[in-house]
Structure 1
Amino acid sequence: MLYGLGTPATTANGAPMTKPELRLKSDEASKEPDLLPLSAFKEAPRIIVIDVTNSCNLRCPVCPVTIAMTRRRGMMTMETFERIIGDFEGETEKPEIFFNFSGEPTLNPILPRLVARASGAGHKTFLSTNCTKLSERLAEELIGAGLSRVYLCMDGFDKEAQEAYRVRSNFDQVKRNIEMFMRTRAHLGADNPLCILQTLLTAYSEHQVDDITAWAKEIGIDRIRFKTFSSGTYTSEEEKRTAEQFIPKSPELRRNVANTVSPLCDEPVAATLVFWDGSLGLCCIDYDQKVAMPNIKDGGFLAAYRSDEAAKARRDGYLKKHEICANCSYSNAENMGYKVDLRKG
C-alpha cells in the first residue's frame, strides 16, 4: 500500500509491493520515475479540497491570494460540483470534502447548497472561514446542511493583533460572529459541526494564547488549533521584510522550512484539489494552478483523476519533482503548530 491507498502497487511478478519496497523504489525513482507504477497513484483520494472561490474580502500580507495569485477569479457552480459528488453515488467509501482553499468560501452564495449536497450524499464536510461574513441565517443554513467540522479563524485577541494581519477585518465583528455561531449551534441542539477556533500565532498574538483559550472554552469551542507562522515561499525579498513584523519572538512558534525533512510528500496521494473551474490541482500548495492537470468537466471527476496525465503529476509530486515542491512550507515544515482539546471528558 502507498500511504493508505486502497489498491496496492505490485512487483514485476504481480505480488503486492510493501511499504519498504515502495520506499526503495522511490529512492530509485529519483533517477528513473517509471519504477513507481502509475496504478499506485490512481486510487480515489481520501480527501477532495474544493476551491469554492479564489476571491477574498481580506488582504492578509503574506497570503498568496493577496500577493501572488494570477489565475482568473471565479466561483464554483453546482453543475461543476455535481461532476464530483455524482461520481461517488453508490460507493461505500466516500472522500471527505473540504470547502476551503484559496479564497473565502462564504463569498459563494451557494455554499450551504454545496455542503448540503455533499453531506446528504454521505460525505463528511469541512469548512474554514475568516468569519467576517457569518450571519445568523448563514450559521443556521450551514449547521442545517449537515456540516461536519468548521474552522473559525481569528488571529488575535484584540483589535491590534487581529487587524494587523487580517487586513480589512474588524476584530469586534469577527469575535461577535464566532460567539453567535456557537450560540446558534447550541440553540439548534446540534452536535455538529465540530467547532475549531484556528489562530495563526504572530508576534502580535503569541502572548495571547491563555486569553484566547479561556474565551474559547467559555463560549463552547470544541478545539483550538494554533498555527505557526511562515512568511511564505512565494514572497519577494521586499515582502519578506514587510512580514518580519509578524514573526513570533518564540522560536517554537516559527515554521522552519527544510527540504531535508522528508524526500517524499504524501499530499498529492492523500488528497486532491479541484479548482473552481473544474480543473484538477496537485495539492494545497498549487494555489496558482502551475501544474497542468485535466478538467473534470470532460468526463467527470474519477475519469480525470485516474487519467495517466493526472497520475504522472501526482507521482512527480510524491517525489517532490515539481518546481513548486522545492520550497514548500507545508510538506517540508518542521513545525505546523499544535492543538488544544476543550471538550469535556
Structure 2
Amino acid sequence: MSRPRSIGRLLKVYWNYVVARRSRCSYPPYRVWVESTSKCNLRCPMCPNKSLDKSQLGMMDPDLFGKIIDQIAPYVHDMNIHHRGESLLHPDLASMIAYATERGIMVKLHTNATLLDEEKSHQLVQSGLNLISFSFDGLDAETYERYRKGASFHDTVRNIRNFLKIKKKLGSSQPFAILEMMDLSEVDRRYSLRDKKEFLSKFDHLPLDRFVVKKPHNFGGNVRLTPSDDPSLRPLTPCTILWHSLVVLWNGEVVPCPQDFFGQMVLGNVQEEKLVDIFNTPELIKLRKNMLRRQVDPCGPCARCDFIRRPTALGIPLQSLRYLRK
C-alpha cells in the first residue's frame, strides 16, 4: 500500500472513530490476525497460552487458510500470521506465507525463534515474508530463561544470528527483522545501557533492522504484570482496534481483538461467513457502540485490558496509532 493510501486509511479510521463516532464501518478491515496455530513449545510465565483448554489447541488447515486469503486479498493491507501460539510449529507455514504474499498481502510473523533452524530460515526468507519479529526477553541467560520457560538463551541467539546470516547471504532486504524485548524495568532494574550495547553487539554486521523495547500487555487482564498493575485505576479510552481489525483463530472462529485471548467474544466463523460481513455483525456494532460510551462488559476482556488505558493523542491510544502505521 502506498503512503498516500496508508494516510487515507488512518484518516478514515480517525473520522469514523473520533469525529463521526460511527459503530458501523463503511470499509472492510485493514488488518487481520490469522492464527496458524494456538500451540506453543514454551511455558512463559507472562503468557496465558498454558491456560488454554485442549479443545482450544490446534493448527489451521492449509485449505482453510487459502480460503481466508482468497477472501481478504482484495482489501486487507497486512496480516499477522500469529496469535496465541508459536507459528513455526506449523509444518506448512512457509507455503502459507508464500500464498499470501503472492496475493499481494503484507505478511508479518512474530516468533520466539527457538525452532528457527537453517531449513526454516531459508524457507521464510524465500517465502516473501515482509516482517519478522523475534520475541527475546532478557539480556543474559539467567533472565531470558526465567521468562522464556523451556528455551535456551544461547541456542536462540544462535538461531537468530543464523537467520540473519542466511538473509544476508541470499541478498534479500526482506523480511524486515526486529528484535523485540519486553520492558522489564519494573521487575528487573539491573540492566544498564552498557549491558544493552554488549548484547546487541552479538548481531553486529548482520541485517537486524531494529531493536525494540515494548511495554508488555496483560492479554485482556489474564496476566498480572506487576503487583500494582490494575487497569481499572486508569481512565478508559475507547479502543480503535474494533474499527480496523479482526482476528481469525485456527478453527475459523473470528474474534474482534487479539487481547481476547480465550475467544470469549466469537463473532462468527469464516467457514460459514465472509470476513467482510463479520466486520459489521450486530454483535460487533453493539461492541463499538458500548466502547464509545465507555460501557464495557464488566465480565469481558475489555474491562480488564490495559491496552485501552494507555496514553492517548487526539483521543486515540498511541499504541493504536503505531499499529495502524506499521
For residues 194 and 298 of structure 1, the distance between their equivalents in structure 2, rounded to whole angstroms, comes to 35
User: 1:308, CA displacement in angstroms?
Assistant: 3.1
1:174-193 pair list within 5 angstroms: 174-193=156-175
Q: Is the contact made by 1:156 and 1:204 (CA closer than 8 Å) also made in structure 2?
A: no
Give the alignment partner of residue 140 of structure 1, picking from 122, 129, 134: 122
2:272 aligned partner? 298
Give the alignment partner of residue 324 of structure 1, picking from 294, 301, 310: 301
C-alpha spacing 1:296/1:21, structure 2 compared with 1 (3 Å):
closer
Letter of the 1:299 counterpart:
E
CA displacement 1:106-157 (0-9 Å, x = unmatched): 0111111111011000000100000010011111111111000000121123
Letter of the 2:102 counterpart:
G
- Aligned alpha-carbon RMSD (Å): 3.0
Aligned to 1:198, what secondary structure does the other structure show? strand
Q: Is the contact made by 1:161 and 1:205 (CA closer than 8 Å) also made in structure 2?
A: no
1:14 aligned partner? none
CA displacement 1:2-33 (0-9 Å, x = unmatched): 96447976xxxxxxxx94342xxxxxxxxxxx
User: 1:96, CA displacement in angstroms?
Assistant: 0.4
Give the alignment partner of residue 78 of structure 1, picking from 62, 71, 95: 62
For residues 302 and 283 of structure 2, the distance between their equivalents in structure 1, rounded to whole angstroms, comes to 18
Bigger mean CA offset, 194-203 vs 322-331: 322-331
User: 1:311, CA displacement in angstroms?
Assistant: 3.6
Residue 141 of structure 2 corresponds to residue 159 of structure 1: yes
For residues 230 and 6 of structure 1, the distance between their equivalents in structure 2, rounded to whole angstroms, comes to 23
2:4 aligned partner? none
Give the alignment partner of residue 214 of structure 2, picking from 227, 237, 240: 227
1:333 aligned partner? 310
User: 1:298, CA displacement in angstroms?
Assistant: 0.7
Q: Is the contact made by 1:259 and 1:327 (CA closer than 8 Å) also made in structure 2?
A: no
For residues 173 and 189 of structure 1, the distance between their equivalents in structure 2, rounded to whole angstroms, comes to 24
Letter of the 1:124 counterpart:
M
**Residues paired across the two proteins, number:** 298
Bigger mean CA offset, 297-306 vs 144-153: 297-306
Bigger mean CA offset, 42-51 vs 203-212: 203-212
CA displacement 1:168-217 (0-9 Å, x = unmatched): 00111100000000000001110100000011232177443232333344
For residues 260 and 173 of structure 1, the distance between their equivalents in structure 2, rounded to whole angstroms, comes to 40
2:263 aligned partner? 289
Unaligned segments of structure 1, at least 5 residues: 10-17, 23-35, 248-253, 340-345
1:131 aligned partner? 113
C-alpha spacing 1:118/1:73, structure 2 compared with 1 (3 Å):
same
For residues 229 and 206 of structure 1, the distance between their equivalents in structure 2, rounded to whole angstroms, comes to 17
User: 1:218, CA displacement in angstroms?
Assistant: 4.0
Letter of the 1:226 counterpart:
V
CA displacement 1:207-264 (0-9 Å, x = unmatched): 43232333344433100111224566224xxxx5xx76xx9xxxxxx98846645431
Q: Is the contact made by 2:267 and 2:281 (CA closer than 8 Å) also made in structure 1?
A: no
Letter of the 1:304 counterpart:
I
For residues 198 and 45 of structure 2, the distance between their equivalents in structure 1, rounded to whole angstroms, comes to 25
2:246 aligned partner? 272
Aligned to 1:173, what secondary structure does the other structure show? helix
Q: Is the contact made by 2:183 and 2:214 (CA closer than 8 Å) also made in structure 1?
A: yes
Q: Is the contact made by 1:265 and 1:319 (CA closer than 8 Å) also made in structure 2?
A: no
Bigger mean CA offset, 315-324 vs 174-183: 315-324
TM-score (norm: length of structure 1): 0.76
Residue 42 of structure 2 corresponds to residue 50 of structure 1: no
Letter of the 1:267 counterpart:
I
Letter of the 1:325 counterpart:
C
TM-score (norm: length of structure 2): 0.80
Aligned to 2:116, what secondary structure does the other structure show? coil
2:5 aligned partner? none
C-alpha spacing 1:302/1:127, structure 2 compared with 1 (3 Å):
same
Bigger mean CA offset, 73-82 vs 187-196: 73-82
User: 1:102, CA displacement in angstroms?
Assistant: 0.6
User: 1:313, CA displacement in angstroms?
Assistant: 3.8
For residues 275 and 183 of structure 2, the distance between their equivalents in structure 1, rounded to whole angstroms, comes to 37
User: 1:324, CA displacement in angstroms?
Assistant: 1.1
Unaligned segments of structure 2, at least 5 residues: 1-7, 312-317
CA displacement 1:41-100 (0-9 Å, x = unmatched): x521111011111111000012110246675211111221122211245x3x43301012
1:20 aligned partner? 19
For residues 255 and 108 of structure 1, the distance between their equivalents in structure 2, rounded to whole angstroms, comes to 34
C-alpha spacing 1:307/1:256, structure 2 compared with 1 (3 Å):
closer
